Structure 1
Amino acid sequence: MTSALPLGDAYPYLRAASAGIRHHARALAPRTQHTASPADRAHLDVLHAHLTALHHLLDQLAETTRPPHPAAGRHLATAHTRLFQAAAAVHDAFHLLPTADEPVTDTSCRPERLPEGPPVLTICQRHLAAGHAVRRKTTPSDLNTPLHGHTTTCSR
């Protein structure tokens, strides 16, 4: 699905990232002869990195949009919160997947115990940084609120 707005080359990296996600989703779609393999920790780590990058982008967009267009800025801020909730769910799923060496027994967030060793930026460290950023601008009740219906209507 594409937008009706002419984008040109204004956002080439964002468009390329979206195209990459669509390609990946098509590649994961089950075919008639075999089913797709389940997600593994590496897959969820990369997906979490993508979600937190989008989270940061939405934060910047909400901050720059809010002064001239308060209503649009509030919607972007809500999307920012919901994206953090999605990243939190991916982070939780990461810890529920077994490693190559051992079954899941302890689901706590411990970067030093990752089977790959503690890399410079683990999924846990990335998630803690995103959580710190979202908590500066969001109340705990907003973070725990389930996604609700869209409050505006499209005019076209």
Structure 2
Amino acid sequence: MTSPTRPVDAHPYLRAASAGIRHHARALAPSDTDPPEPADRAHLDVLHAHLAALLQLLDRLADTARPPHPAAGRHLATAHTRLWQATSEVHAAFHLLPGAPGEGVEKGACEPARLPEGPPVLTICQRHLAAGHVVRRKTTPTDLRPHTTACVR
């Protein structure tokens, strides 16, 4: 016979990810001795990856909640849409930050080969386009307005 999972034992990886984000947010908070460091592309790339992973999680949760609990599924689907909008804004901010010193990166250009770190296996733009494809397959254009992506490949 199995015992029910206690809330503190449930979803340890998700709890660890949340704790990591809280720790990072505290580390970025300004202190009396050190001014806060400005956001850079590396921070936004990692944050975008986290948001994209949360999009997948919310999508699956909405799909599993919808049949037995339609109202809860609709709320999760709405949360998914709002999270997509936040993910899209992080992607846009990534392109507005300057590249590495001495590199001629155009602002707003979505060219993975010209990223300051070089083209990783899965760039922020590729990740964003893949997430956008899933979002647009399950969401109407009206739900996404006025948020659109400027990333075209």
* TM-score for both structures, normalised by structure 1: 0.85
Change (3 A) 1:117 1:24: same
Identical aligned residues as a percent? 74
| Aligned residue in 2 for 1:79 | 79
| Aligned residue in 2 for 1:16 | 16
| Aligned residue in 2 for 1:100 | 100
Question: 1:111 and 2:93 equivalent?
Answer: no
| Aligned residue in 1 for 2:122 | 121
Contact residue 97 and residue 107 of structure 2 kept, 8 A: no
Inter-partner Cα distance in structure 1 for 2:107 and 2:7: 47
Inter-partner Cα distance in structure 2 for 1:15 and 1:138: 28
The within-5 A match list for 1:6-155 is 7-101=7-101, 102=103, 105-144=106-145
The answer for unaligned runs of 5 or more in structure 1 is 1-5, 147-156
Inter-partner Cα distance in structure 1 for 2:60 and 2:80: 10
- CA offsets 1:62-119 (integer angstroms, 9 cap, x no match): 0000000001100000000111111100000000111113365331211121122211
Contact residue 97 and residue 104 of structure 1 kept, 8 A: no
C-alpha deviation, 1:140, in angstroms = 1.1
Find the residue that maps to 1:30 and give its secondary structure: coil
C-alpha deviation, 1:8, in angstroms = 2.8
Inter-partner Cα distance in structure 2 for 1:114 and 1:32: 34
Amino acid at match of 1:85: Q
The answer for unaligned runs of 5 or more in structure 2 is 1-5, 148-153
Inter-partner Cα distance in structure 1 for 2:51 and 2:65: 21
Amino acid at match of 1:95: H
Q: Which moved more, 1:112-121 or 1:79-88?
A: 112-121
Change (3 A) 1:103 1:28: farther
Inter-partner Cα distance in structure 2 for 1:42 and 1:63: 32
Inter-partner Cα distance in structure 2 for 1:104 and 1:112: 10
Find the residue that maps to 1:136 and give its secondary structure: helix
